[in-house]
Structure 1
């Protein structure tokens, strides 16, 4: 099964964020990183087993403690999810998405400078 068209759930995305940041992890590593007070270890384990079946992660079972790593690319996954959100929520308007995002969160001066640099690059293409 190709994993390029799989859309991770919200819970799966949280686990993927940990795996993308930390690399190879045990279920305990992921569970502790998520620091979920309302979810037990077995919930994290079950979700990661489902993710393995779906092709989102791979696991090394050569030792007693299984090691998981993300199989899907962070940048491509984020791009697919943003494109889907632009189409479904913002009627295809990337500008509306950006304005909504900047209106909801306070951007640091560093982030604003990066956005300006990016916009300048787009204008000069």
Structure 2
């Protein structure tokens, strides 16, 4: 996996829309953003920053550019989750899950599903 950089909140918001759209012109991205809509130049600048960071590339159509992701949502999710786990939970999934339980973001049903997933993963490794 390539070396990723952390995205700002605004950059991540733009990437979320681009991941959903697959490819888009700046206008298409703006149309997907919640009101109040940012200025065209603002979004265009952010997209160019994302291009510099290696997250997007473009295809030129005269003076217009259609942008598309170079980094998948799954790649960035993995990066962000590892960073969160390392930075706030001492690389301990147990500490992270405990946090979500204490914050009531993880209920008994979710915990049961996670346990089943862990059991399945353990069985696969044994094979």
Structure 2 length-normalised TM: 0.77
Q: Point out where structure 2 has 5 or more consecutive residues left out of the alignment.
A: none
1:14 — aligned with what? 13
Partner of 1:105: 105
Q: Which structure has the larger Rg over C-alpha atoms?
A: 2
Deviations 1:79-116 (A, max 9, x none): 11111111111121112223333535366x6x667534
Distance 1:113 1:22, change over 3 A: farther
RMSD between aligned residues: 2.7
The answer to whether the Cα contact below 8 Å between 2:59 and 2:66 also exists between their aligned partners in 1 is: yes
Q: Is the 8 A contact 2:30 2:37 kept in 1?
A: no
Alpha-carbon offset, residue 64 of structure 1:
4.0
The equivalences for 1:38-117 within 5 A come to 39-101=38-100, 103-105=103-105, 114-117=113-116
- Residue pair 2:55, 2:71 contacting (<8 A) in 1 also: yes
Q: SS state of the match for residue 59, structure 1?
A: strand
1:24 is aligned to 2:23: yes
Tell me by how many angstroms 1:38 deviates. 6.4
* Alignment length (residue pairs): 123
Deviating above 6 A after TM superposition, structure 1's stretches of 4 or more consecutive aligned residues are none
Per the TM alignment, residue 8 of structure 1 is displaced from its structure 2 partner at its CA by 1.9
Q: Say which SS state the counterpart of residue 66 (structure 1) adopts.
A: strand
* SS at structure 1 position matched to 2:36: coil
Separation in 2, partners of 1:6, 1:65: 27
